[in-house]
Amino acid sequence: MKDIKTEIARIIAEQAGLAEEEALALIEIPPESSKGDYAFPCFRLAKVLRKAPPLIAADIAEKIRGNALFEKVENVNAYVNMFIDKAYFAMNTLEDVVARGDLFGRQDIGGGKTVIVEYSSPNIAKPFHIGHIRSTVIGNAIYKLYDAIGYKVVRINHLGDYGTQFGKMITAYRRWGNEEEVKKEPIKTLLSYYVRFHQEAENDPSLDQEARETFAKLEHGEEEEVRIWKWFREESLKEFTRVYDMLGITFDSYNGESFYSDKMPAVIQELRDKGLLQESQGAQIVDLSQWNMSPALITKSDGTSLYITRDIAAAIYRKKTYDFYKCIYVVASQQNLHFQQWFKVLDLMGYEWSKDCIHVNFGLVSLEDGTMSTRNGRVVFLEDVLNRAVEKTAEIVREKGVNTESIEETSKTVGIGAVIFQELSNSRIKDYVFNWDNVLNFDGETGPYVQYTHARAASVLKNAGFSGSFDVASMDLSYISGGSAYELIKEIYRFPEVIADAAEKYEPSVLTRHIVDIAQAFNKFYHDEHILVENEQEKQAKLLLTYAAKQTIKNGLELLGMKAPDKM
């Protein structure tokens, strides 16, 4: 598919005496279709050409008006408004959709360079709760976006499987635990121990000291502590995997914090050798006051490590192992300072590639009566949310008598898709309050709406006896060159550009909103036009557009981690 914007830039650059890159940067898409498909503002050319912008616009419009690419060219004040030849535009777009099918929208911007995406990263022996869905589905979408634009993506689930909380968990298990209880319901049982530990510690401070000593033993590889810790990890992973299977999410690596425990001494020594470590009340720190940040605490006074030490070790290991072009961390905005600190420490260590470590933050999820707290047992389990979404969808499917071969399969596809789509619909940086009604709302600009639109297009094609192929070059596309049909073609054409934009901004909602736009444009076309008409040429042109809309919606949903049902 030819890039129309680049072609316009070439044409204008020749006539205005500009570099193509400069012309390309100035081209705009007007807010109203009545003002053209593309517009070129001439304000910046005034100084160079020593003419008033409206005169420059009139001159450029006159010079390019006869080009076959344009149906019409107008100059309005300082703007050159360009209307693309509709038949050319339709042919250029729809031929590409048909030729590429499931690959439509994919590009080779990355050239095979390696990008690491770290996401989800729940804590072992703690609930996989609704708060984790943000990192999980945003990270999965970012992985899919970067894969779609030609990067080799490594998906890492950096499990929270180390740290002082394990000293607390092991201490609680020894005091109040029961092996059978843990085996029967691992996460909820371990959570109850963790909550009890904090309740008891309020009255018995010696528990905290016992937990610190237990974690120190774990760090030093004491056999019993390591055995219990490994057991907690294995039981937790079983439950996490069940949720990942529901979401259709997999990883290339589950190397968590513990994986880097034997790599930290070398990092600490390197920091010492480079003169970056200072002692502060028995602890080892890197002073970051020059950059208006609090000190980076590398080891505690008892010699145990912290998150930042493990994160530095992990980054160095990943660079050596994968030689990444980017290492993207999808982690909540609560951790902004932490990432600023350890990126700066990497920089001070002389690692120029520290600039290639990217923190993609996102807003927090809270409950209607306050923030979630694992310590207090105030959480909403993600698995419960997904199961309730599936149950509600099944109720709706039965009530409406939806034509489906499997109510169970349709309910999973639509219910879980609704939760994913809702998470990816808004800007990732926004905080939001978890509300069951909002999560399970299927009306409006939602996942079920988009999935239903895909199913509607599939139904039209099936009813027409669609054979599975089109000879686009021989078709008369004048039947879809106006009104709602042309507006739909424009939305489909923009799809590859939107994918690249969403990846560059680390913002899946850019793509989510565009898929809604395509669905709305198709539904308007479906409402405005009678598709299965007697005239065979007209019918084939409209079926071609229906197919293109269906294929683009399917490809878009796949990039969000969702399925596109043919029946609904």
Encode pLDDT of 21-40 as tens digits. Answer: 999 999 999 999 889 999 99
Distance CA 402, CA 405 (A): 9
User: Nearest-CA neighbor of 152 among 113, 107, 105, 109?
Assistant: 113
Distance CA 384, CA 175 (A): 29
Mean pLDDT is lowest, of 194-208, 434-448, 544-558, for 434-448
User: Nearest-CA neighbor of 164 among 300, 20, 365?
Assistant: 300
Q: Is residue 293 part of a domain?
A: no
Mean pLDDT is lowest, of 282-296, 355-369, 532-546, for 355-369
Q: Give the global pTM.
A: 0.91
Q: Is the pLDDT of residue 378 over 80?
A: no
User: Nearest-CA neighbor of 8 among 96, 92, 69, 60?
Assistant: 69
Q: Is the pLDDT of residue 372 over 60?
A: no
Show the domain range for 69. Answer: 4-84
When pLDDT is averaged across residues 541-567 and rounded to a whole number, the result is 97
pLDDT-based confidence at 420, cuts 50/70/90? very high
Q: Is the pLDDT of residue 377 over 70?
A: no
pLDDT of residue 373: 58
The bridge status of strand 70-76 relative to strand 114-118 is unpaired
User: Nearest-CA neighbor of 494 among 473, 517, 526?
Assistant: 517
With beta carbons less than 8 A apart as the criterion, state whether 144 and 559 touch: yes
Number of domains making up the chain: 1
E runs forming strands in 335-452:
357-360, 365-367, 432-434
Decide: residue 414, CB within 10 A, 0-12 exposed, 13-18 middle, 19+ buried: buried
Q: Is residue 285 part of a domain?
A: no
Q: Is residue 412 part of a domain?
A: no
Percentage above 90 pLDDT, the chain: 76
Q: Is residue 30 part of a domain?
A: yes
Domain containing residue 53: CATH number: 3.30.1360.70
When pLDDT is averaged across residues 252-278 and rounded to a whole number, the result is 94
With beta carbons less than 8 A apart as the criterion, state whether 511 and 145 touch: yes
Q: Is residue 568 part of a domain?
A: no
Q: pLDDT higher for 350 or 482?
A: 350
User: Nearest-CA neighbor of 288 among 331, 340, 333?
Assistant: 340
When pLDDT is averaged across residues 107-120 and rounded to a whole number, the result is 98
pLDDT of residue 375: 56
Task: Enumerate the active-site residues.
Answer: 126, 129, 132
Please give the biggest Cα pair distance in the chain: 86
Q: Is the pLDDT of residue 438 over 80?
A: no
Q: Is residue 410 part of a domain?
A: no
What is the pLDDT of the chain when averaged over all its residues?
Answer: 92
Q: Is residue 35 part of a domain?
A: yes
pLDDT of residue 370: 59
Percentage above 70 pLDDT, the chain: 97
For helices 223-247 and 186-201, give the axis angle rounded to 10 degrees.
130
pLDDT-based confidence at 440, cuts 50/70/90? low
Q: Give the range with max mean pLDDT: 147-151, 263-267, 305-309, 404-408.
A: 147-151
pLDDT of residue 48: 85
Q: Is the pLDDT of residue 402 over 80?
A: no
Q: pLDDT higher for 496 or 378?
A: 496
pLDDT of residue 374: 58
When pLDDT is averaged across residues 6-17 and rounded to a whole number, the result is 93
Q: Is the pLDDT of residue 329 over 90?
A: yes
Q: Is the pLDDT of residue 254 over 60?
A: yes
Q: Is residue 382 part of a domain?
A: no
The predicted-structure confidence for 34-74, as pLDDT tens digits, reads as follows 899 999 999 999 988 899 999 999 999 999 999 999 999 99
The bridge status of strand 326-330 relative to strand 357-360 is parallel
The predicted-structure confidence for 170-179, as pLDDT tens digits, reads as follows 999 999 998 9
